[in-house]
Structure 1
Amino acid sequence: MKTTLPTTTSPCVRNCCLDNNNICIGCFRSLDEILEWHRASEARRKQILANAKARQENKSIPFTNDS
């Protein structure tokens, strides 16, 4: 039986920093989703991406540069 590897690529933008809810401010994945990514099925990866997109669209605190 041939195993098909997931083809969905990681949404990581190399801006890894977790907020107080353990959500990455770069890709909007949760810490658990980031850790799960390498072993996740294609269907699960798509679900993770949908979750991250929803978080990004619903973010409540805009970025401000106080420098």
Structure 2
Amino acid sequence: MDQLELFDIPNPCIGVCESNNRGYCIGCLRSRDERFNWHQKPAAERAHILKLLVQRRARLNTKTKPEQDSPSSGESLELF
């Protein structure tokens, strides 16, 4: 049994459901395809998406100012 099968992988949604100009949610940083049917996706796919989100958050944090904890709703969160 794979360890991923033992634990439910949480939904990274934080309730800020608004897409930027590139189609990524400004709350959880997922694309539309990554958000769609989250609970029906296989655990391995959800785990992969979570790893991508960590990379996106790190990339975003290097682009923002150090004193700024989170982007304002007006920022575009250009990840790519």
TM-score class, shorter-chain normalisation, is 0.7 to 0.9
RMSD: 2.6
Equivalents in 1 of 2:73, 2:47: separation in Å?
32
- Secondary structure of the corresponding residue to residue 58 of structure 1: helix
With the length of structure 2 as denominator, give the TM-score of the two structures.
Answer: 0.65
Indicate the percent of aligned positions where both proteins have the same amino acid: 31
Spell out structure 1 runs of 4+ moving beyond 4 A. Answer: none
- Cα 1:8–1:20, aligned 2, differ >3 Å: closer, same or farther? same
Residue ranges of structure 2 left out of the alignment (5+ in a row): 66-70, 75-80
Higher relative contact order (CA 8 A, sep 6+): 2
For normalisation by structure 1, the TM-score amounts to 0.76
- The equivalent of 1:52 in structure 2 is 53
Corresponding position of 1:13: 14
Shift of 1:65: 8.0
Report the number of matched residues: 63
Tell me by how many angstroms 1:36 deviates: 3.8
